[in-house]
Amino acid sequence: MKAYQHVLVPVDFSPVSPRLINRGKELAAHYQSRLTLLHVVQDLPLTAQAFGDVPSITIEPELQAKLIDDAQKQLADLAKQLELSSEVVLEIAEGLPYDSIMEYVADHEVDLILTGHSAKKGLIGFMMGSTAESIVKHAKCDVFVMQAPKDA
């Protein structure tokens, strides 16, 4: 079996994030691979354009900069709390979560993605969030899905 070279853990700061990061740390150590934590600051629709144009969601640049800064601090704090090596790469991306994750995977030769789901059962008995589900369906690399803690 080929060893993983680059493990990616998308981090949304949900209750499953620390478990995913710790598992990523274990796998990266086992395979002696790179480990990257990626948080996506999502573009959210705040206003629509007038006169029938296609709605355009924009966030004021100052607010977007603050969201990015806050995310960087939160990711660094989480890495410190979980005692991650300084070799672990902490990345922030902007955009839609699925698109940003897949773009990062393609651009950085990621061969394993660790993602989580809420463990809440949907209509057919199993349902993941749309980002996790899209990753599982469309990733061109291996995907490890971890269930959120039962008490979350």
Domain annotation for the chain: domains and CATH numbers:
6-147 (3.40.50.620)
**Local structure of residue 47 (DSSP, 8 states):** -
Q: What does pTM read for this prediction?
A: 0.83
Q: Which tens digit of pLDDT belongs to each residue from 16-32?
A: 899 999 999 999 999 99
pLDDT digits (tens, 9 = 90+) for 71-91: 999 999 999 999 999 999 999
Please state, in angstroms and rounded to a whole number, the distance separating the CA atoms of residues 41 and 3.
Answer: 31
Q: Are 40 and 9 in contact (CB under 8 A)?
A: no
Count the helix, strand and coil residues of the chain and give each as a percent rounded to the nearest 5: 35, 20, 40
> What integer is the mean pLDDT of 103-114?
96
Question: Locate tokens 């296609």: which residue?
Answer: 54
